Amino acid sequence: MQQTPALSGRVRFILCEPAHPGNIGSAARAVKTMGFRDLRVVAPWERGYRTHPEAVAYATSSVDVLQNSRMHETLAEALEGVTFAWAMTGYDREYGPKLSPMREAAGKAAAWLDQMEGDLAFVFGTERSGMTNEEIMLCQGCAAIPADPASPSLNLSQAVQIAAYEMQMALLAAEGRTSELYDWQGRFAGDEPASSEAIEGFYGHWEQAMAACGYHNPKNPRHLMDMTRRIFSRSGLSKNELALLRGICAAIIEPKRERIGRKKGQKAEPAQAPGCLAQTAPDED
């Protein structure tokens, strides 16, 4: 990913009365890994959470988000400048906004950011009891993360991670970048593909190597080469990868210890009969 979505800076993640500093640190990490930076904490049990050892340990590479998070006394204060807030709750309430699945909520949030002004927030309740009815009434929508009814409870930071991921994906989709992830995932994109002629040459070399090690009997080939072609045709071999495989084939046909000392240009003796390598003691190179 060359850069985070342009609208990421207008998304807040608000934790209401978190009890465990480690959850705040983990939430900071969850937020940053998905390209967001704005973390708000409302009335935390541990006022010095920013430097608490557990919070710092769980934040790992996201200590900057932890230390730059803003602490508020009330949710209303944390929502200043927000024009749409999603209450993260696991069940529908008698009062308050209609409940939406998390992925649907993220899609609506991305569309809202594109069309409206102001910030958008995802609000999370305290670990033990979640959001209160009063807190939910301050929000314009309710979002739920689908979970197994037999075990519907998520850790606070896990819920933040899922919400941040879904929001990131929705923003990337809105920019037409759904297949775009991280730069390192394209690290092999520049490798030159092997030509069909080179691949055919490798298949011949492979067959010789399999015969030399005793696995392949040319008089009774079974389906060795058919299966070989099936395996390697799925891999999209590059020139460098093919060179590696040819080197392995050469070493099987004639081990390095048998090549040492030979003058350059001198031809190798014919490969020994199948099974010869299994009878040779494993000397050091």
For 28-39, how does the pLDDT look when each residue is reduced to its tens digit (9 = 90+)? 999 999 999 999
Q: How confident is the model at residue 188 (pLDDT cuts 50, 70, 90)?
A: low
Q: Are 93 and 147 in contact (CB under 8 A)?
A: no
Encode 173-203: b = buried (16+ Cβ within 10 Å), e = exposed: ebeeeeeeeeeeeeeeeeeeebeeeebeebe
Q: 3-state class of 166 per DSSP?
A: helix
What predicted TM-score, i.e. pTM, was given to this entire model? 0.69
Q: How confident is the model at residue 275 (pLDDT cuts 50, 70, 90)?
A: very low
For range 125-153, the mean pLDDT: 91
Higher pLDDT, 169 or 272: 169
* Vertex 188: Cα angle to 186 and 190 (nearest 5): 95
CA distance 41 to 124: 10
All structural domains of the chain: 6-184 (3.40.1280.10), 196-279 (1.10.8.590)
For range 122-132, the mean pLDDT: 93
Mean pLDDT lowest among 11-20, 102-111, 185-194: 185-194
| pLDDT, tens digit (0-9, with 9 covering 90-100), for 220-270 | 888 889 999 999 988 788 999 999 999 999 999 988 777 666 655 555 555
Give how far Cα 34 sits from Cα of 28, 126, 187, 189, 232, Å.
Answer: 10, 22, 21, 24, 35
Mean of per-residue pLDDT scores for the chain: 87
Higher pLDDT, 234 or 170: 170
- The pair of structure tokens assigned to 230 is 């099936």
CA distance 44 to 206: 65
- Nearest-10 crossing angle of helices 239-253, 196-212: 20
pLDDT at 274: 43
